[in-house]
Amino acid sequence: MATPVTIYGPPLSTAVSRVLATLIEKDVPFHLIPIDLSKGEQKKPEYLKIQPFGQVPAFKDESITLFESRAICRYICDKYADKGNKSLYGTDILSKANIDQWVETDGQTFGPPSGDLVHDLLFSSVPVDEALIKKNVDKLAKVLDIYEQKLGQTRFLAGDEFSFADLSHLPNGDYLVNSTDKGYLFTSRKNVNRWWTEISNRESWKKVLEMRKNA
């Protein structure tokens, strides 16, 4: 590969870390441009040309620019199918669809309550609304009850191999488990805890956490 791909955004961002973990799993060289959100760099005209909503991450590879972390990850897996972890997003239409339904479950069902909790407990500048926290804890608990059943049947969400479906949960899961008092939602559930311990110890994820420390 002549030119590394470029990812724009701070590694502290959950959506940016999702893309970083994918790039590392796929062994795709990248160049990180750490957009400074506190300086409003994500709202500058040059950046808005790539990411019109003024959010992170944005992404560039040869002639294409992209936004939305899960779309970027799918692209990386498709474009660099033969590199790194070759089964990360499946190896055929059936395995890919099986993984994708759990990526969508992250985006639509696990992500909203866990992302809101991470935001409200760690990154918000306004006082915590306890009723809202409880509402999201209850929502997430119900979701994780179903994960508990599923992970009693298979080692990972989409079967017996680690995939993009598991990876997609790492960014919000990590903050909840390691930086809030809501980690019990994961650790109190036997199968979820086993799964979480295994996926959060992937070398790729440890490298993302290392990048955060050095950011």
Q: Which is nearer to its own copies, 88 or 211 (CB)?
A: 88
Task: Compute the C-alpha angle 211/85/140, nearest 5°.
Answer: 65
Residue 91 touching its own copies (CB under 8 A): no
Nearest alpha carbon to residue 67 among 57, 78, 77, 54: 57
User: According to CB under 8 A, which one of 19, 23, 66, 140 is a site residue for its own copies?
Assistant: 66
Among 18, 26, 70, 202, binds its own copies (CB under 8 A): 70
- Regarding 174 and contact with its own copies (CB under 8 A), the answer is no
Contacts to its own copies from residues 97-156, by CB under 8 A: 97-98, 100-101, 103-105, 107-109, 112, 143, 146, 149-150
Pick from 212, 173, 171: nearest CA to 22: 171
CA-CA distance, 158 to 149, in Å (whole number)?
13
Cis peptide before 127 (omega within 30 of 0): no
**Closer Cβ to its own copies, 21 or 211, answer by number:** 21
Q: Which residue, among 164, 162, 118, has the nearest Cα to 140 in the 3D structure? A: 118
Which lies closer to its own copies via its Cβ, residue 50 or residue 209? Answer: 50
Q: Amino acid identity, residue 180? A: T
- Residues of the shown chain interacting with its own copies in the complex, contacts defined by CB under 8 A: 52-53, 63-64, 66-72, 74-75, 78-79, 93-94, 96-98, 100-101, 103-105, 107-109, 112, 143, 146, 149-150
